[in-house]
Each structure stands twice: as C-alpha cells, then as structure tokens.
Amino acid sequence: MAGTQQTDVVISKGRFEAFSDGVFAIAITLLVLELHPPDLTIPTNATLVSALLAMWPEFLVYWGSFATIGIIWFNHYALFHNARRITYAALITNLLLLSFVCFIPFTTLLIAREGLIPVATAFYGLVLLLMSACFNVLFYVMMLTPGERGSFLGFLRKRNLWNSLGPAVYAGGSLLAFASPLASILLFAAMAVFYLLPGTVKGTLDATGGSSTST
Amino acid sequence: MAGTQQTDVVISKGRFEAFSDGVFAIAITLLVLELHPPDLTIPTNATLVSALLAMWPEFLVYWGSFATIGIIWFNHYALFHNARRITYAALITNLLLLSFVCFIPFTTLLIAREGLIPVATAFYGLVLLLMSACFNVLFYVMMLTPGERGSFLGFLRKRNLWNSLGPAVYAGGSLLAFASPLASILLFAAMAVFYLLPGTVKGTLDATGGSSTST
Amino acid sequence: MAGTQQTDVVISKGRFEAFSDGVFAIAITLLVLELHPPDLTIPTNATLVSALLAMWPEFLVYWGSFATIGIIWFNHYALFHNARRITYAALITNLLLLSFVCFIPFTTLLIAREGLIPVATAFYGLVLLLMSACFNVLFYVMMLTPGERGSFLGFLRKRNLWNSLGPAVYAGGSLLAFASPLASILLFAAMAVFYLLPGTVKGTLDATGGSSTST
Amino acid sequence: MAGTQQTDVVISKGRFEAFSDGVFAIAITLLVLELHPPDLTIPTNATLVSALLAMWPEFLVYWGSFATIGIIWFNHYALFHNARRITYAALITNLLLLSFVCFIPFTTLLIAREGLIPVATAFYGLVLLLMSACFNVLFYVMMLTPGERGSFLGFLRKRNLWNSLGPAVYAGGSLLAFASPLASILLFAAMAVFYLLPGTVKGTLDATGGSSTST
C-alpha cells in the first residue's frame, strides 16, 4: 500500500493505466511491422524456405523484444496495482519510461536491418538500460515512503533485488556487444525469460503488493 | 466459475483484459497496412479495375485473418469473462498467445507478397496452429480445476469439442498447403467462418460460462 | 432501452466496447500513416510549399475520412450506450462493421496514391456504403424489439431518418464518381459534416436513447 | 466541477475518454515509425555510429513530439477528469483536437525527411498552434459556466494563464522558423518541457479541478 502513502499526491490513476496500457499494447504490436517478408524475384518453396531461415535473427529479436515489452508491462501493472494516485514525479517518470518503451521497435528494426553488429546491439541494450533505469526510478517514487527513501540499501531491500539489477545487466550486455553481439542479444533474451520465471514474477508482486486481491 | 477455483491465484484481471484487448484491436487493424494500392504508372479506370481485381488473394486473406483474429478475441473474451484472477501459467500463456496473434499480420503479408505458394501458406497455417494450441493451453489452465486436469478426456468433454479440434485442423491445413495452397487457405477461412457460427459461439460461451450475466 | 429487450441475449458488453473503441481509435490514427511527405531531391521553402499545396486532395481525404470514422464511432457509442448485452447477430454484424472501418485507411490511401479518378473514388464510396449498411443492420438488431422488426416503415420511424439514408447517399456518391470524382468526394465529406451537425447528433441520441444519464 | 454545470448536456463521458486515450496512445507510439534506421550498404560500427549521430534532429523531434503529445494528453485528462458529461460543442472540438494530434506524426516525419528548413518547421508549428487553439476552445466549453463565458478576461483568470499563451507561443515559433528553424524547434521543445514543470502541471490541475480525489 506504499503507493498510497505518497505525500504530494496529485492525480488519480484510472486514465494513466489506460493510456499506459495503450502505449504498451501498441509498442508490442508494432514489433511485427519491422518484420518484412523477403523480396524474392521468383518466389519458390526452396527460395522462400531459405529466405525465411535466414531471417532467424529478426525472429529472435521479435520474440526477445516482445518478451521484454511484455514483462515491463507486467512490472508496470504490478507497480500501479496498489497505487491510488499518481504523484508529479511518477507522471514525468512514467512518460519518460513510455518514450523508451516506444523506442524499442526502432532498435529492434535497427538490428533486423543492419544485422547483429556491435553498435546496433549496444544501442539496443542502451535503450533497455534507460528503460529499466526509468522503471527503477518509478518504483522508487511510487513504492517508497519519504522515510524509506533515504537509504539506498533500504531501497534494494524493499525492491526485489533482481529488478534492481536490470540496469546493471543491460549496461554489461551493451558493453559485451563489442566483444560478441550474439552473446549480448542472447543475454538480453535470457534476461526477459528470467523476468518471466515464476520466482521473479512472485518477487515483483511481493515487492509491489500487486498480488493483493483488490481489482 | 472454474476460472475462480485456481489454487495458485496471483494476479487480478482488469488490466490483463485491457492490455489484451489493445493487442487484439491493433493486430486486427494492422492487417489493412499490409494492403498496398497498386503502383500504376498512369492510373486509369481500366488499369485500376484490373489491378484491384488482381488483388483478390490479398482481400481474401485480409478478411480471413480479420475473422480469425476477431474470433480468437471473442474466445479470449469468453475465457476471461468469468475468471476473477490470472494465475502465473495463464499470464505466460497469454503473452505467448498474443505474440502469435501479433504475428498474423506478418504471415498475411507473406502470402500477399509471395502469392499462394505452399511454403507461405503452410507458414501462415503454422502460426494459426501455434496460436490455437496456446489458446487450448490457456483454456486448460484457466477453466479446469486441479482435479479435472488429470484426464485428457475430461478436458475434451469440458471443452467444447470444436475448439479442441482447432490445432488438428490447422495442422492438417498446413500439410494440405503442399498439395493445394488455395484449398488450404479456403480451409482456414472456412474454419474462421465455422467459429463464427451460432452453434460454435454458443458452445464456447457454455464451455466458459461466458454467457453468465456478470459484467 | 430496446437494446435490453433482446430475447437471444448472449454476451455482456464491457469488452466489446473496449475492443471496438480500440479498433476505431487505431483506424482513425492510421489515416495519418497514409500521408507521405513529398520526396524532394533538394528540399527548399519554395519546392516544399508547392509540394504541400499539391497534396490538398490527400489532406481533404484525411479530414474527410477522419470525420467519417469519428462520426461512425460516435454512432457506435450511442448505439451501445444503453445496450446491456450483445446478441449473437450484433456480435457478427459488429465484427463485419469493424472490418469495413479498418478498410477505410486503404481506400483513403488508394485515392491519395492514384489521385481522384472515378474507380478509386467509387471504391472509396463502396466501402462507406458497406460500412453504413452494416451500421443500419446493427441498429436493426440492437434497437428494435422482435415486435418492431416486422415493418420496415416502423424501422424508419424509430430510426432517425438521416442515418437510414446513409447507404443511399453513399451508393449515389459512388455512381456520381464516374461523372465527377471531386463532386463525389465532396459529397462524402459533406455527409460526414452533416452527421456532425447538432440536429443529426441529437437525432442519433434520441433514436438510441444514448443521451440517457447512465454511464 | 464547472464541467458538470453545462446546460446542454448530451453525452456521458466513459467511452469518450477511452476513445481519446486510444488515439493519444497510438499517435504517441506511431512517432517511432517515422524513425528509419540508416540504409547502409556495408554496415560497420564506424558508419553506423556516424549515421546514428547524423539522425540527431530526428531524435530531437521524436522526444519533442513525444513530450508534446504526452502533455496534451495530460491536459486532456485533467480537463475531462471532473466532467460528468460531454456537450455537443465538446464532442466536436474534441474530434477536431484529436485530428490535429494525429497529424503530429506527419509533421514530425516532414522535418525528419526534409530537414530543419523554415517551411517544414513552420508547418510543424502551425499544427501545434491549431492543436493548442482547439484545446483552449475545449477548456472554454467544458470548464466555463454560461455566465463566465462572456468576459475573455474572466476566461484568462479562470484558465491558468500559461496554457492560454500556448497558441501565441506556437504562432510566434512558426514565424521564428523563417529566421531560424533550429531556434523555432528548440522553442517548441522548451514549451513541452515547460508544460511538464511542476508549477504548470499544478496550475493545470487547479484550473480544471483535476487534482480532486474522485476517480
């Protein structure tokens, strides 16, 4: 219920969830627009099969980005679930968070277009880094009471550790891209899968009180 | 009310429906983006008419895909209608289901671009197969009580048989594509029309309790 | 309250409005994607001004289509406002209606691409004709009681006459396109403006009971 | 509560917010579709870095437009928050407002495509001018009682002055574009940032009663 203990309450949350849900839903659906069927002069079964197989990196980033936006949406849901009102800080942080979420289709297309080269992959990771950083700030302003805000350790204790580590992992993955883009993209995909594991999901719900029975 | 008998209840459903509705609505609307007006050097009535008539396969897959997403949305509505909470398994399965729904505009464009060749049509059917498989799993985890889950026959008995047959029909249609892509695509369209028939709709509502009066 | 007097009630309306709103909102927003800035080799103020001025037919169809989707959405709102449940017939008709609404961005692009030639304009009108025909059927199944359904005159009396005339006007406009595409497109735009007039809006609300105070 | 003092009440607001939220969410998400990854013949780290750096004006307008749509959405939220019903004038003004909001991705692409030349920037500002003008009219019809409507000074006093100045600033920025497009675009971005400042947000909430506790 920490979300309701904000002192500088300004805005009620109904339309903020609706607007955010819309943006998440559109961003996740736009990912498919970045997938372009191969342009074959004479499409045959053989050429099309090989062309589709050659698209595996694009399919990998499609499901990787889909899982990433899906899980950040779920975290957003858990964070807003018990909040009654949105503070000014949360309003601004949420808008910034959404601007990075909406940016993911671009970085996804960047990899699909340019291939798995270091800079494209690092740029992809940079946006994930900024997105998860915004999310941690959003958690900070929405879930912590003014009293708790002082100590960073208290922040880590209250927050389920894994999500706090998100920015660190995304930063590391971005650097890793210059050694091996494929290893980097697999790390990002693994991070999404990890966030989808029962334990992490439960941890998120416990940290935010999202598993409460109120609807 | 089976949806409320889940033991590992974790999440309340409000935003899950909103998010899913958004994804369904966007995926179904994006289909039109795959339709490109003919690029005519000198557009005349004659050339445009023949060009539009030549687009009949694209129009067929547009309405076929529209009906398919429309009916899967309706099944999704019926399934979630009486559910009070979303379990972890339902959360993951729902995300996976949506990732295949969002993929349909791509496979639709694939056929529009490459024409009705076997591989393109089979790939189109493969995504429908995975989508309907996900839906059956979603039904399994949301509608069956732990007690009922044991017997597969009990599953078929509880589930209205037709929807359970979906994966089988889509698998068969994908294989049929290598014999006759047109027959295959007509089978997929027929399946969508079939799911829109009063009997099937009523069967779905009965199986899910979706026709209950609660809103 | 006629909407609640349906005998074959099957579905509650909450998510049907949400899904339909999503489709309307996306279709109306996709219109702008059909507007492509001029591709100028050396963009200068002079060349850009003339290029933008040359786009006037595209801007005209953009606002024309925007007003058309906007007003059909409003009619949809008024129709569903007092309905408590959705019948099977309404479910199917609504899906078909949405498939034509989603098709408008394509016909809008068709005119933008091919120019105001008869066939493109007539095709644009044909889709409006099918859309407004679906809407009248939807009104018929949702607002009329089984008793009222018999007489077509009773239908016209209950329905505010103007909306019933929609199909006729769109059919006439489609034929007019072969004489003068510009006159035809102006008629479609005028129809949208007409539907936005206070009298027509009030008539729609009265016919559907949409101005009731229930939310 | 002025929103509820309208005399010519016609429509309840639920779906108007949902529809508007959808349009805002889609328009803000479509902005990313205007960002096209550089088309590099042989993508290397060096060429990609320089190509991405060269895209800075596009990234600037992306976040500028994102902030602009985000803040106009927030103002829309605040304005509708306490309104119980939508008058005819508000219905029409809202549709017109949305048509300009949806137009922003086009003007954003125009600058991205043609570069920061005066006409493109002025056209970008013109749409912002029309959008903020519509918003002020919407505020006028929704928040002022018939009694208050007479005096323009009373309008300015009731309305938080800053938002009323929006049209003036956007008009000035459009003219400024002919002297310096960059200064003009920075002014538009600054305006968005300014509207996101705590004081302005609070002013908007006070002017509309949006910070009330009702949800």
Give me the pLDDT at residue D2, please. 38
pLDDT of C170 over the 90 cut = yes
Give me the pLDDT at residue C207, please. 75
Asked if the structure places residue C4 within a domain, the reply is no
- Tell me if chain D has a CB within 8 Å of the CB of A99: yes
- Tens of pLDDT along chain D (215 residues)? 333 333 354 677 888 888 899 899 988 988 888 788 888 888 888 888 888 898 888 888 888 889 989 989 988 888 888 776 788 888 899 999 999 999 998 998 888 888 888 999 999 999 999 999 999 888 888 877 666 666 666 666 666 666 778 899 999 999 999 999 999 989 998 888 888 888 788 877 777 775 544 33
Question: Quick one: closest CA in A to D196, which residue?
Answer: A92
- Tell me if chain B has a CB within 8 Å of the CB of A11: no
Give me the pLDDT at residue D157, please. 66
| pLDDT tens digits along A24-65 | 998 898 888 878 888 888 888 888 888 889 888 788 888 888
Beta bridge partners of B87: B9
Q: Across chain B, what does the average pLDDT equal? A: 82
B104-109 mean pLDDT? 89
DSSP of C135-174: HHHHHHHHHS-HHHHS-HHHHHHHS-HHHHHHHHHHHHHH
> Does C21 contact D26 at a Cβ distance shorter than 8 Å?
no
Give me the pLDDT at residue D159, please. 65
| pLDDT tens digits along A192-206 | 888 888 878 887 777
CB contact set of D73 (below 8 Å; sequence gap of 6+):
A19, D21, D24, D28
Asked if the structure places residue D137 within a domain, the reply is yes
Give me the pLDDT at residue D151, please. 66
pLDDT band (50, 70, 90) for residue B180: very high
Share of chain C above pLDDT 90, in %: 25
More confident residue, B4 or A107: A107
Q: Which of A130-144, B77-91, B200-214, D15-29 has the lowest mean pLDDT?
A: B200-214
| pLDDT tens digits along A132-160 | 999 988 888 887 766 666 666 666 666 66
pLDDT band (50, 70, 90) for residue C1: very low
Give me the pLDDT at residue C126, please. 95
pLDDT of C202 over the 60 cut = yes
Q: What is the largest CA-CA distance in chain A?
A: 68
B71-76 mean pLDDT? 89
pTM equals 0.86
| pLDDT tens digits along A5-20 | 333 546 778 888 888 9
Give me the pLDDT at residue B1, please. 36
Share of chain C above pLDDT 70, in %: 83
Q: Which chains touch A (3 or more CB pairs under 8 A)?
A: B, D
Chain C hits for D118, CB-CB cut-off 8 Å, are: 45
Asked if the structure places residue A173 within a domain, the reply is yes
The amino acid at residue C95 is: L
3-state helix, strand, coil in chain A (%, to 5): 75, 5, 20
Total residues belonging to chain C: 215
Tell the burial category of B200 from Cβ atoms under 10 Å away from its Cβ (0-12, 13-18, 19+): middle
Nearest to C73 among D19, D27, D103 (CB): D19
Give me the pLDDT at residue D96, please. 93
- Tell me if chain B has a CB within 8 Å of the CB of C157: no
Asked if the structure places residue B28 within a domain, the reply is yes
More confident residue, A49 or C209: A49
CB-CB contact of D138 with D90 (8 Å): yes
Q: Which chains touch C (3 or more CB pairs under 8 A)?
A: B, D
CB contact set of C87 (below 8 Å; sequence gap of 6+):
C6, C8, C9, C10, C11, C141, C142
Which has the closest alpha carbon to A158: A166, A147, A148?
A: A148
Domain that holds residue A141: 9-208
Give me the pLDDT at residue A184, please. 93
Catalogue the long-range contacts made by D161-165 (C-beta closer than 8 Å, 24 or more residues apart). D162/D194, D162/D195, D162/D200, D162/D203, D163/D75, D163/D132, D163/D135, D163/D136, D163/D139, D163/D195, D163/D200, D163/D203, D163/D204, D163/D207, D164/D136
> Does A205 contact B33 at a Cβ distance shorter than 8 Å?
no
Asked if the structure places residue C214 within a domain, the reply is no
Give me the pLDDT at residue B6, please. 37
Chain C hits for B21, CB-CB cut-off 8 Å, are: 15, 18-19, 22
Q: With residue D87 as reference, give the H or E element that holds it.
A: strand D85-87
Is residue D124 classed as helix, strand or coil in its secondary structure? helix
Asked if the structure places residue B213 within a domain, the reply is no
What CATH number is given to the structural domain containing D191?
A: 1.20.1410
- Tell me if chain A has a CB within 8 Å of the CB of D168: no
Q: Which two tokens stand for residue D18?
A: 């949902």
pLDDT of B143 over the 60 cut = yes
- Tell me if chain B has a CB within 8 Å of the CB of C147: no
Total residues belonging to chain B: 215
Q: Which of A154-163, C46-55, C69-78 has the lowest mean pLDDT?
A: A154-163
Residues D127, D8: Cα–Cα separation, whole Å: 30
Q: How many domains is chain C partitioned into structurally?
A: 1
Is residue A12 classed as helix, strand or coil in its secondary structure? strand
CB-CB contact of B22 with A21 (8 Å): yes
pLDDT of B176 over the 90 cut = yes
Asked if the structure places residue D58 within a domain, the reply is yes
- Tell me if chain A has a CB within 8 Å of the CB of D154: no
Residues C10, C92: Cα–Cα separation, whole Å: 12
Give me the pLDDT at residue D40, please. 80
> How close is the nearest chain C Cα to the Cα of D199, in Å?
32
Give me the pLDDT at residue B128, please. 94
- Tell me if chain B has a CB within 8 Å of the CB of C162: no
> Does B202 contact C10 at a Cβ distance shorter than 8 Å?
yes
Give me the pLDDT at residue B171, please. 95
Asked if the structure places residue A214 within a domain, the reply is no
Question: Quick one: closest CA in D to A119, which residue?
Answer: D45
- Tell me if chain D has a CB within 8 Å of the CB of C90: no
Pairing assessment for the beta strands B9-12 and B85-87 based on DSSP bridges: antiparallel
| pLDDT tens digits along C110-142 | 888 888 889 999 999 999 999 999 998 888 888
